[in-house]
Amino acid sequence: MANDASAVSDAISRNLGALTDPFTPPADSTLWRKNFLLGAATASYQIEGAVDEDGRLPSIWDTFSATPGKVLAGDTGAVACDHYHRWEADVEMLASLGLEGYRLSIAWPRVMDAAGLPNRKGLDFYKRLLNRLKEKGITTSVTVYHWDLPQHLEDRGGWLNRDTAYRFADYADLMSRELAGTVDAWATLNEPWCSAYLGYGNGHHAPGLADGRFATQAMHHLLLAHGLAMPVLRANDPTSQKGIVANIGRGTANSDSAADQRAAHLFEVQHNAWILDPLLKGAYPQDLFELWPGTEPLVLDGDMQTISAPLDFLGINYYFRTNVASDGAHGFRDVQLEGVERTQMGWEVYPDGLRDLLTGFKRTYHNLPPIYITENGMASDDKVIDGHVDDTQRISFLKRHLAAVDQAIKAGVDIRGYFLWSLMDNFEWAFGYERRFGVVHIDYSTQKRTVKRSAELVAKFLKERKARV
């Protein structure tokens, strides 16, 4: 793998000098400041592979993706990007691009056995990875849970079982004791909305259950797990930052009618306030239960105080907006706009939504912590042509969304960094390997990495910014 790493590094160096640049922010952009972190993100199940090696147990995504009809083309994460075996070259590639931060997640089934005891081989993988990242001077951001729940816990109810929140706290305890000193920022959960709603509400994601009451109860136990883990992380690794990552969605009304305006409000309640209100206000938004009547979760005394403990940072993932109209009852329906730019996912490209949401959160939550954009990016049907990937739409997408971040900072929002999603093409959950989000192209038949032009331009900007200091 060392030769692979050297080849990637040499190729990046050769290409940087010859680039024309439609990416670099204007001179007055706050993104030029040296303390604005610019990095890339991945997730364990999406890149690691090696699902049966070194004591790793099955996860809900192993089970789900092996179920016919659940994942496009029958794809699974069994091999993915083979990062478990190629991590050294991948770290070298990350460093060669000059990326300042790396956000990764730990695979819960890789590091603990069914009795809750540590799996040393799995832990050693993350120790080697994190230590190498620190040697390279790369800021490490670790997500404790990015959706790959051990299957044995799902067999006992998964996130519908309150006990899973306590098992998560045990897991966070082990991780923060074992990895203390190698992690700059801990995020307890990635996108609890997706885990709760897509996993238990509509069945699009693992474990594939579909019931509104399941979704709200799963969300409560996910947020409780976050709250239980926070003091453990603080005690075991006091010098690191601690927070959580939420995906947010911009909802706009299809007309000026009161009904459609209410529909857009309810969309954002369901997508944003469902998570942020408990964390930052200590209560669920009551409008949520207007949208989903009869789905109130079982909340025990003290739960909301546990959930709403102070955060050092809030991670924000943003991808698109949704245009909605009233469904004529208690909710909303999507209305597709014509003539708008869309990505390979079919999602509308709407940078203003990121700015509008961030500035809105600053008005709504007076205790809003510092923010990192922990995921932002787009899927495109990228091809390697003559050894290059010219991902023009992604370059434009990134520039416009970074401009939206700059606008939010200038409006007073405390945003301290931005992570590209994703470092490399990977297993895109229910869409398998068809959708490519990476700034590095993966040939899944050979595992060859090809740095896309977007990554080269980001590297060029970072090199110029460093030279200014």
Taking only the tens place, the pLDDT of each residue in 54-111 is 999 999 999 999 999 999 999 999 999 999 999 999 999 999 999 999 999 999 999 9
Active site amino acids: 375
The single-letter DSSP state of residue 270 is I
Q: Give residue-wise pLDDT tens across range 23-58.
A: 889 999 999 999 999 999 999 999 999 999 999 999
**CA–CA distance, 285 with 275 (Å, rounded to integer):** 9
Identify the band that residue 10 occupies on the pLDDT scale cut at 50, 70 and 90: low
pLDDT higher than threshold 50 for residue 411 = yes
pLDDT higher than threshold 50 for residue 247 = yes
**For range 263-289, the mean pLDDT:** 97
**CA–CA distance, 94 with 133 (Å, rounded to integer):** 9
Residues 447, 1 contacting (CB under 8 angstroms)? no
pLDDT score for 389: 98
Q: Give residue-wise pLDDT tens across range 127-173.
A: 999 999 999 999 999 999 999 999 999 999 999 999 999 999 999 99
Q: Give residue-wise pLDDT tens across range 416-440.
A: 999 999 999 999 999 999 999 999 9
**CA–CA distance, 48 with 83 (Å, rounded to integer):** 4
Bridge partner list, 373: 316, 418
CATH class given for the domain over 30-442:
alpha beta
pTM: 0.95
**CA–CA distance, 358 with 411 (Å, rounded to integer):** 9
Identify the band that residue 469 occupies on the pLDDT scale cut at 50, 70 and 90: low
**CA–CA distance, 121 with 27 (Å, rounded to integer):** 48
**For range 430-455, the mean pLDDT:** 98
- H or E stretch covering 355: helix 351-364
Q: Give residue-wise pLDDT tens across range 381-402.
A: 999 999 999 999 999 999 999 9
Identify the band that residue 2 occupies on the pLDDT scale cut at 50, 70 and 90: very low
**CA–CA distance, 160 with 414 (Å, rounded to integer):** 35
Residues 182, 139 contacting (CB under 8 angstroms)? no
Contacting residues for 274 by C-beta, under 8 A, at least 6 apart: 193, 219, 284, 285, 288
Contacting residues for 75 by C-beta, under 8 A, at least 6 apart: 65, 427, 432, 433
3-state secondary structure of 59: strand
pLDDT higher than threshold 80 for residue 6 = no
Average pLDDT, the chain: 95
pLDDT higher than threshold 90 for residue 410 = yes
**CA–CA distance, 202 with 215 (Å, rounded to integer):** 8
pLDDT score for 210: 98
**CA–CA distance, 456 with 395 (Å, rounded to integer):** 10
pLDDT score for 22: 80
Q: Give residue-wise pLDDT tens across range 314-359.
A: 999 999 999 999 999 989 999 999 999 999 999 999 999 999 999 9
Domain spans, the chain: 30-442
**CA–CA distance, 87 with 138 (Å, rounded to integer):** 14
Identify the band that residue 18 occupies on the pLDDT scale cut at 50, 70 and 90: very low
Look up residue 200 and give its two tokens: 């238990």
**For range 184-200, the mean pLDDT:** 98
